[in-house]
Amino acid sequence: MPPKQETNQRKMFIGQAASPGYVIAKTKLIVRQKVVVSQYKISREGTASQIDFFRKGIMQVKREISNLRDITLQAVSKKDSEIFDSHLMILQDPLLIDGVISLIRDERWNAGYAFHLKMQSLIENFENSEGILKERAQDLKDIYNRTLLCLNSSESDFALQEEIEEGGAVLTGFSIGPNMLMNFDKGKVLGLAIDSGSVTSHVSILARSMQIPAVMGLGNLSESIKSNDLLILDGTNGIVIVNPDENDINKYKKQIEVFQNQKLELFTMRDLEPITMDGKYIRLNANIERYEEASEITSFGASGVGLYRSEFLYFGRNALPTRKEQADAYSKVVNQLDPLPVTIRTLDAGGDKMLSLVNAEVESNPFMGWRSIRLCLDRKDIFRTQMKALIEAGSRGNLKIMFPMISSIGELEKAKEIYEECCAELRAEGLSITKVELGAMIEIPSAVIIIEEIAKRVDFLSIGTNDLIQFTLAVDRSNGKIASLYEPHHPAVLRSIKLVVEAAHKEGIPVSVCGEMAADPLSTLLLVGLGVDELSMSSWCIMECKKIIRSVNYDEARAISTEVLGFSDAGSINSFLKKKYSQKIKNLGISSFIIAQDFTTSDRALIKIDDEIQRIGS
């Protein structure tokens, strides 16, 4: 490991923009206490006392986490306090508890080492997964560290952390979990700059809810910084500048003022309609993962739910959710938002969302494996249970059901047949059935090629651009080595979107886009011009998107998008779009579009080492 730099050299780091905002502040470097694992054999007579010691240790950790949950509930929100509920569920998991007790009783290991063996196996399984499961490995590490310190009869490393000085600081370190974050005074945490993690990690979710700017995945920042160093944290663009010069500070002081004004101004957009200057209405919906989020989306100006990811109802459980549990969860969203539309995607397990209760086998290529509608059509017991729950929840008439990863007419027809069969069975039970709209998610090139046939058989279409881009370009979006090839504005992607729009409108049905592309300013304008009827995104992006839509002329956007379709490469398209729209977006003060030309050429010469964008020299 290289020694830390002791000079005040200006350095810039590029990571993942996890929570928007800007901070100029001193740092507090978090160096976690090293956890020492004691390893020794115990006598047969000593197993009972070690098991008792283990159970008491687990109870102590559960009390600590319950206290953090209560603090989060009071200081942040109920939704965010539920992060700690998932931690408690892990500590209550019979597979974990019984597994540790078995190692103590049968192998006669001491409690701390038995817990270490069991947890390390779980952590390795999560770290070897992709996507959200990989991110949740940090939660397991938090639990591992806290519990081991307790079992080693030590004070918690979290309790040993120094207080943040008056005036606050940006927390920096290799990893900072929700447990650690919530132990600090919320008012003193000005930002987060973390070497590991991503925008989907729990600490990122907490940061966004607490409105703390955050940048994740910074690589080796913590090795090149010390406490009380001055830094600029740009959570909007994923930039951290250590020991900034006077020019940096002046520029960001102005940006902070602009950002604060933007936040106030954006809330004036909440109750305005997303209509272009010449009268074209674009519905803006929210993406949600849990039913608790439904209460928040209208406060951000959403017109409904464009994507409810139902698979998250299945995670963190010892058994599959029952029909009643699902119907209750879906009904809460549908009823609370009535008459606004709610689109619920059927179970989309597999890929980067492995479901341990179902996805037992490890696949070499899970993104193209047994997942989504393929899994559901094979496991009809799971699919029928969910379908009946959805039909029950649709009694108010504002529910839409969407089938993911449709690749053929056969798959679509089988899914619709199961829906009709479930309706008939529920009628036989005496339930009154309200017709719900059925739609297909277009994520695979084969679906684009047969889109006219698909459009004839559904009530709406939704383009999942995250997977459509990945499959069209043969680019794994989680692979850092080829991340630059993941290009939303590739001509093949844009022409595919246009084909889907034309097929939908030919049949008189709406088409939406629900991938990350929907919330990008340039892409928003491009999608509007391509004729997309609805955009679905994270709630906090809606007001910004609404402001963009209200600033453009639909006919002009159509003309620009039509011209874009004639370009042969993504670079030319991006240059053309920036030429057409960058000044307009900059004039609007859109915070997520701070143009790269604000930095020097040397600043933008990123050095890619071992899959990560790392240090940039001054």
Point out the catalytic residue in the list 202, 376, 422, 490: 202
How many whole angstroms separate alpha carbon 158 and alpha carbon 149? 10
- For residues 113-147, one letter each, b for 16 or more C-beta atoms within 10 angstroms of the residue's C-beta and e for the rest, the string is bbbbbbbeebbeebeebbbbbbbbbbbbbbbbbbb
**Burial tier of 278 (Cβ tally within 10 Å: 0-12, 13-18, 19+):** exposed
Residue whose pair of structure tokens reads 């990989």 in the numeric block = 134
Residue whose pair of structure tokens reads 């010390």 in the numeric block = 226
Query: Within the chain, what is the greatest distance between any pair of CA atoms?
Result: 83
The helix/strand/coil state of 233 is strand
Q: Are 259 and 24 in contact (CB under 8 A)?
A: no
How many whole angstroms separate alpha carbon 26 and alpha carbon 227? 7
Separation in Å, CA 550 to CA 237, 252, 531, 581: 24, 28, 16, 14
Catalytic residue at 202? Answer: yes
Q: Which amino acid is at 303?
A: S
Beta strand 608-609 pairing with 612-613: antiparallel
Catalytic residue at 505? Answer: no
Separation in Å, CA 214 to CA 141, 192, 561: 20, 5, 34
Q: Which amino acid is at 156?
A: S
Which of these, 15, 5, 1, lies nearest to 229 by C-alpha position? 5
Residues 6 or more apart whose CB falls under 8 angstroms from that of 12 comprise 239, 240, 241, 242, 599, 603, 615, 616, 618
Residues 6 or more apart whose CB falls under 8 angstroms from that of 159 comprise 183
Note the helical H segments in 345-379: 372-378
Separation in Å, CA 233 to CA 15, 20, 173: 11, 10, 14
Point out the catalytic residue in the list 150, 376, 423, 514: 514
Q: Phi and psi (nearest 5°) for 403?
A: -95, 125
Catalytic residues: 202, 514
